[in-house]
Structure 1
Amino acid sequence: MLSQRKNCDKVFIGSIDQGTTSTRFLIFDNDGVLVTSHQLEFDQIYPQPGWIEHDPIDLIKSVNKCMIEAVRKFEMMGYEASAIKTIGVTNQRETVLVWDKNTGKALYNALVWCDTRTAPTVKKLRTKEGSHKVAHMCGLPLATYFAGVKLRWLIENVSEVRDAIKEERAMFGTVDSWILYNLTGGKDGGVHVTDISNASRTMFVNLETQAWDDWLLEFFEVPRHVLPKIVSSSEHYGDMASGPLQGVPIQGCLGDQQAAMVGQKCFSQGQAKCTYGTGAFLLFNTGESHVTSKNGLLSTILYKLGPDAPVIYALEGSVAVAGSAVKWLQNNIGLIKSEKDIGKLAAQVDDTGGVYFVTALSGLFAPYWRDDARGTIVGLTNFTNKRHIARATLEAVCFSTRAIIDAMRNDALVPLQILKVDGGLSNADTAMQIQSDVLGIEVERPAMRETTALGAAFAAGLAAGIWKSTDELTKLTVNAHDTFEPKIDEKKRNKKYKEWEAAVERSYDWTRVVGNDDSESDEDEDDEKAH
């Protein structure tokens, strides 16, 4: 039989990748090679402007369906399901659920990480005594993004949640907790845990102690009894309670951006990865040192690969506009017909002809933090054509990425060794060559782009003994990669970046020019600039 013919020495690892718009189950072998996968999208719920929810049942159903279909494909390829020895989980971070431990049912839809209904909650929290201490303790600013303020909103606005907390039957968790609870039995013995990387996104964890912090819990008025147990990112949490992989241990868990770092093998201090999606998301490994940013970056826990392993920290930064700038050229301006055209068009010229495009379409994020900035194109002449604009758009992403990385270097005082990249825009060779030129270091792009799911698989495989150490993972060479090396000298690189910074300055203050009341005082304007 075919299944017997393929019943070799290889072992396999399953990986659940539960994202914002879809869920996937992927199966890797012990060389880190992707064997097969299945993906399902699920509904996004928009009750009001700015509100984004997920049906908790949809999340679990999509996980189970993807697992069933991926295992079916795996068996059709001639393998046996019993060859899958362990499972890892990676998830959309900061999305929040509360459920009833007696019934196992969610008490409200999941509040998605990008939901902004908590803006009034954040405003109120900022007025509380001691609010200035929060970011220093947990590494995260008071913002709608993070899980803690979402739980606070649920407590204040959903009576079912409030009653369940009073009666001590409420269970709080991010998506990893919800998945692990349900897959290990739900109300019939399911575990209530969260890994340290996800826990660090709640605002309830003290980065120094790596534990739930009594002061932070008191500040957010959250009782400790609703919280899951914090576990490492690589250990045995429980076994699959049902389905085609019943009895298989779940042994890895990481938030999605941290999982991508592990999948990219960024195990050394000074290594960084950038995921180019709608925006660009950067993480910088700071090793066992917790770094408090002075440049508007986030401090977070990267991973803890085993109960007795050290905690590894990271700095995070995000570029607001990356792939969305390309979409803007396509949909709003009609400059390109497809996102894939951007690289081809930009490659038709050697430079931008002196054009710089500051893509501040909704202000500038770190390290500038200027919500008064707006999109600005400077340097236009009779010589300028659409190819120059296309290239200037890619350069904007790369210059913005350098600004974040420079901030990370200044915070961490550690030289950047290499930038590993993934995400949609990384597929454009021209963009990645520009990125290498702008940074003056190598940019490495893996041939196998499923780095997030691979990171969860690595975490599970380490706990299962499939791999003995991160050194062994680093030596895996089956996944080829493309390397882009700088092709311009330091003098030209610095000159271009200086010109970029001058262009950025010209994008400032535009919201004060257009649409503002002239009666606003200069003093108020200066205060707002400083903020």
Structure 2
Amino acid sequence: MSTRDRLLAIDVGTQSVRALVFDRHGTLHARIQSHIEPPYHAPEPGYAEQQASVFWDAIVAACKALHREHPDMGARIAGMALTAQRATSVFLDADDQPIGPAISWLDQRRATEVPALPRLWRTLFAVLGLTGTIDSFQRAAPANWRAAHTPEAHRRTRRAVLLSGYLVHRLTGVWRDSVSAQVGYLPFDYKRRRWASRFDWKWRAVAIARDQLPELVEPGEPLGMLTDGAARALGLAPGLGVFSAGADKACEVLGCGAIDAQTACVSLGTTATINTCRSVYREVTRFVPAYPAAVPGYFTDEIQIYRGFWLVSWFKQEFALDTVDAAAREQRAAEALLDERIAPIGPGSDGLVVLPTWSPGVRIPGPEARGAIIGFTDTHTRAHVYRAILEGLAFALREGRERIEKRTHGPITCLRVSGGGSQSDQAMQILADVFGLPAERAHTHETSGLGAAINTAVGLGWYADHAAAVQAMVHAGAHFVPNPLAIAAYDTIYRDVFRGLYARLKPVFCRIRTTFGTQAD
């Protein structure tokens, strides 16, 4: 067998970059993490930005550390792929140099002026009740903010790409990106998996020209080869093949093996999501597109809780620093100690309920979104709040499941769970109990990286297609069986308390927004 029997996946997150090495069976052989500190800068309220070169430097640092720890690994790499955070925008000049920092997916700034749409489109959107949605889309588009607020920089822009496209160019010297990475405020045709036709309204809605965008490549196809300069920087062979993979969430779904409509990938990450994958394009939320999967011709039906397991980080920072310190002294994860403290508390956290709508979603929840914790009594402790957060996220994901099932007329019968939160046994058990379904943890928590590696394996011809690669490279992890008594308790809480809670609180949230404005304001 050739000594080139390893696959390199680069996973570019918000807080770190990971260099991951897998074999053809999906086994993780090496993992190097390079942290990004701080994850972003906020020069003004609502801003979230980072120098694009910081991500490249983190890739270089991770690969150098990989070679230090595994000196023989570079010679064994057969191919590589990159997966990255979605919707982080990079704008470059004619010399391919970034013009200002990358605008992060976390950014909340809004354009005060946006391109005017033709009257015909405005009338159609008004009839469909979409005027507010389209206006929100236009004001959230980074290109429109730049056109309105930094016009000179906007005029100098030669390239408008997502972070993944910028990094692919640093690797290969060509302006290409994965079809599956195009999730953002771009003139993209999600149904046809390509840039929108020249007659599409998005070209009038967003201040981006067609020649500023990269060429799109389907997952598993080659993007190019490592340039000599990139190869030297990363310690890899010049000419090494770089293959198209997709955005982090798309690769996560693939890395969980959730490539049929009955299997849901639940991601307990910073943004919590529930996804199913199918070959038919269908919008499970009206006028919100299905995203391109990391499999050619497939789409993911996605429901997001924007501030998902971010809530756990928020809770630890604001209310549990002593627990974090105690865990560090014991050389344990803080979540492990928190799991122990919530284990004696029964389903429902003794009547404490968290509504995890800390931030607006895509149409649902709306721009007035606020979170809520209700049901406090003098018996509740921090442990109750923590458990209620886990339960609130599980309830919100169950709502997403029901929306997907209603729209697609098909049941979800299996849960594959990934993301940092999946390492918590209590979170896994709560999810199984709230859904009333067995919940299976992925065999590796590096599922986004595994999805990228699967695309590399297909691109190298190691497997005939993605289904064959998934069968060989994705394996079952820990299995959590729902408790019948807990199922009944959670079903009552969900139906009688949680479901409809947002609708009941919405008028209050709207009054708060009127009084205090939004973070972006």
State the TM bucket, normalised to the shorter chain.
0.7 to 0.9
- State the alpha-carbon separation in 2 of the partners of residues 510 and 148 from structure 1: 25
Residue 6 of structure 2 corresponds to 12
- TM-superposition CA deviations, 1:146-172 (whole Å, max 9, x none): 99811222334434543335xxxx122
Match of 1:155 in 2: 147
- Which residue of structure 2 aligns with residue 409 of structure 1? 405
Report the equivalent of 1:31.
25
8 A Cα contact 2:42 2:48, kept in partner: yes
Residue 149 of structure 1 aligns with an amino acid whose one-letter code is: A
Unaligned runs of 5+ in 1: 1-6, 185-189, 306-310, 518-531
Q: Secondary structure at the match of 1:509?
A: helix
Aligned equivalents of 2:192, 2:204: Cα separation in 1: 17
Residue 41 of structure 1 corresponds to which residue in structure 2? 35
Q: 1:476 to 1:501 in 2, by over 3 A?
A: same
Aligned pair partner of 2:218 in 224, 232, 246: 232
- Listed as ranges, the matches of 1:392-403 within 5 Å are 392-403=388-399
Q: In the alignment, which residue of structure 2 is the partner of 1:501?
A: 499
How far did 1:50 drift? 1.5
Aligned to 1:67: 63
Residue 176 of structure 1, aligned match among 164, 180, 199:
164
Distance 1:118 1:381 in 2: 39
Aligned counterpart in structure 2 of residue 87 of structure 1, from 70, 77, 80: 80
Q: Given the superposition, is the C-alpha separation of residues 93 and 205 from structure 1 closer, same or farther in structure 2, using an over 3 Å criterion?
A: same
Q: Tell me the residue number matched to 2:283.
A: 292
Q: Deviations over 1:215-262 (max 9, x none)?
A: 221332422111111111211111111322122110132101101111
- Structure 2: distance between partners of 1:143 and 1:429: 42
Deviation at 1:477, TM superposition (A): 6.5
Deviation string, structure 1 residues 193-223 (Cα, Å, up to 9, x no partner): 1211122434311233322222221332422
Match of 1:277 in 2: 269
Q: Counterparts of 1:290 and 1:483 in 2: how far apart (Å)? A: 31
Corresponding residue for residue 241 of structure 2: 249
Partner of 2:323, secondary structure, is: coil
Preserved contact between residue 52 and residue 111 of structure 1 (Cα < 8 Å): yes
Deviation of 1:313 after TM superposition, in Å, equals 0.9
CA distance in 1, matches of 2:77, 2:391: 44
CA–CA separation in structure 1 for the residues paired with 2:410 and 2:168? 36
Report Cα offsets for 1:396-445 as digits up to 9, x if no partner.
12111101111111222221131211223222212211211111212111
Name the aligned partner's letter for residue 501 of structure 1.
R
1:457/1:416 Cα in 2 relative to 1: closer, same or farther (>3 Å)? same
Give 2:9's aligned amino acid.
S
1:428 and 1:146 map into 2 onto residues whose CA distance is 39
- Once the 2 structures are TM-superposed, how far is the Cα of residue 129 of structure 1 from its aligned partner? 6.0
- Distance, in Å, in 2 between the alignment partners of 1:324 and 1:196 is 28
Residue 476 of structure 2 is aligned to residue 488 of structure 1: no
Distance 1:440 1:361, change over 3 A: closer
Task: Give yes or no for the alignment of 1:205 onto 2:191.
Answer: no
1-side partners of 2:111 and 2:410: how far apart? 35
Q: Do the aligned partners of residues 386 and 156 (structure 1) sit closer, same or farther apart at CA in structure 2, a change above 3 Å counting? A: closer
Q: Report the AA paired with residue 284 of structure 2.
A: S
Contact 2:67 2:74 in 1 (8 A): yes
Quote the residue 1:268 is aligned against. 260
Q: Structure 2 stretches of 5 or more lacking a match?
A: 325-333, 516-521
| 1:22 is aligned to 2:16 | yes
Alignment partner, residue 204 of structure 2 = 218
Counterpart selection for 2:108 from 112, 116, 140: 116
How many Å separate the matches in 2 of 1:36 and 1:492?
A: 42
> Judging changes above 3 Å, is the alpha-carbon distance between structure 1 residues 515 and 263 closer, same or farther for their aligned structure 2 residues?
closer
Deviation at 1:270, TM superposition (A): 3.1
CA distance in 2, matches of 1:143, 1:87: 39
- SS in structure 1 opposite 2:160? strand
> 2:474 and 2:294 mapped to 1: Cα distance?
24
Query: Residues 80 and 385 (structure 1 numbering): CA distance in 2 closer, same or farther, change over 3 Å?
Result: closer
Offset from partner CA, 1:339-384 (integer Å, 9 cap, x none): 4133222211333365131234636757554836541322x56765
The answer as to whether partners of 2:356 and 2:396 remain within 8 angstroms in 1 is no
TM (norm. structure 2) is 0.83
SS at match of 2:404: helix
- 1:240–1:441: structure 2 CA closer, same or farther, 3 Å change rule? same
Q: What residue in structure 2 maps to residue 510 of structure 1? A: 508
Using the alignment, how far apart are the partners of 1:143 and 1:444 within structure 2? 40
**Per the alignment, do residues 381 and 418 of structure 1 end up closer, same or farther by CA in structure 2, a change over 3 Å counting?**
same
Residues 270 and 416, structure 1, Cα contact 8 Å, conserved in 2: yes
SS in 2 for 1:269: coil
- SS of structure 1 residue aligned to 2:290: strand
- SS of the equivalent of 1:445 reads strand
- Cα separation, 1, equivalents of 2:8 and 2:118: 46
Q: CA 1:358 to 1:127, structure 2 compared with 1: closer, same or farther past 3 Å?
A: farther
Q: RMSD value over aligned CA atoms?
A: 3.4
Of 263-272 and 447-456, deviating more is 263-272
Q: CA deviation at 1:14?
A: 0.7
Specify whether residues 370 and 343 from structure 1 end up closer, same or farther in structure 2 by C-alpha distance, changes over 3 A only. farther
Letter in 1 for 2:215: K
Q: How high is the TM-score relative to the length of structure 1?
A: 0.81
Query: Whose Rg is larger?
Result: 1
User: Contact between 1:298 and 1:317, CA under 8 Å: does it hold in 2?
Assistant: no
Residue identity opposite 1:282 in structure 2:
I
Label 1:128 to 1:195 Cα distance change in 2 as closer, same or farther (>3 A): farther
For 1:357 and 1:157, locate their aligned partners in 2 and report how far apart those are by CA, in whole Å: 41
Rounded Cα–Cα distance in structure 1 between residues aligned with 2:320 and 2:215: 51
Is residue 10–residue 81 contact of structure 2 (8 Å, CA) maintained in 1? Answer: yes
- Report the Cα distance in structure 2 between the residues aligned to 1:344 and 1:333, rounded to whole angstroms: 17
CA contact (8 A) 1:94 1:147 kept: no
